[in-house]
Amino acid sequence: MKKLLLTGFEPFLHYTVNPTMKIVEELDGLVIGEYKVISKIMPVDFKVSGQQLLQFLEEIQPDAHISLGLAAGRFKITPERIAINFKDGDADNEGNKPVDELIQEAGEPGYLSTLPVREMVNKLLENGFPAEMSNSAGTYLCNNVMYEGLHYAKASNSKMLSGFIHIPASHELAIQHGNIPSWSHEDLKKSIITCIEVL
């Protein structure tokens, strides 16, 4: 059986819940398509999350890796096309606030997702879930983790598929936040299952 490392993030900034946490917790241990899901929750910490992902990849040696993140304000499920070699943006949960820093000194400027992102978007739409390719994962923690996964795969000559999917807020988060578009938890979860099935 192939192994999939699926990660979510803890809450951050003024988002009191992170819908990716509940999704990955509920999918942990399930077999979806050809893959057994192994789930982990990542901290929103520039100094720790990259290292932690690499540790999980070393330990688990997955055939595929998908990290999930909340993109509050987005309306659709958005597989990310590319990660860029920059850390920048709001302070993380530990107060780190890098400005224009490289993620990897000797890394490429960017890495393209090796997930079948176009097929994922097409399948989501076919199954009735609004979806769109995203051409920027930002420069915050999500881009950081996506970049580290792809850099690791390239540097270690690994055949592992790797990439990132941003999701909208859940209704639970939107009620607490007050002003962001949202999806039901069930639909968010079903759309991630759809993406895994595409693998």
Catalytic residues: 80, 142, 166
**CB of 32 vs ligand PCA, minimal distance in Å:** 21
Distance between CA atoms of residues 119 and 64, nearest Å = 16
Tokens of 78: 């958005």
Work out whether 107 is an interface residue with ligand PCA (CB under 6 A). no
Q: Note whether 44 binds ligand PCA by CB under 6 A.
A: yes
**One of 5, 7, 18, 86 touching ligand PCA (CB under 6 A):** 18
Distance CA 113, CA 36 (A): 21
Residue 138 CB, shortest distance to ligand PCA, in Å, is 5
Rounded CA-CA distance 128/80 in Å is 19
Sole binder of ligand PCA in the list 4, 5, 12, 63 (CB under 6 A): 12
The interface mask with ligand PCA, positions 111-150, x = CB under 6 A, is ---------------------------x-xxx--------
* Least gap, CB of 71 to ligand PCA (angstroms): 5
Nearer to ligand PCA, 88 or 108 (CB): 88
Q: Provide the Cα torsion 115, 39, 145, 19; round to 10°.
A: 100
* SS3 readout for 110-163: EEECCCCHHHHHHHHHHCCCCECCECCCCCCHHHHHHHHHHHHHHHCCCCCEEE
Q: Which residues pair with 87 in a beta bridge?
A: 101
Binding site for ligand PCA (CB under 6 A): 9, 12, 18, 20, 44, 69-71, 138, 140-142
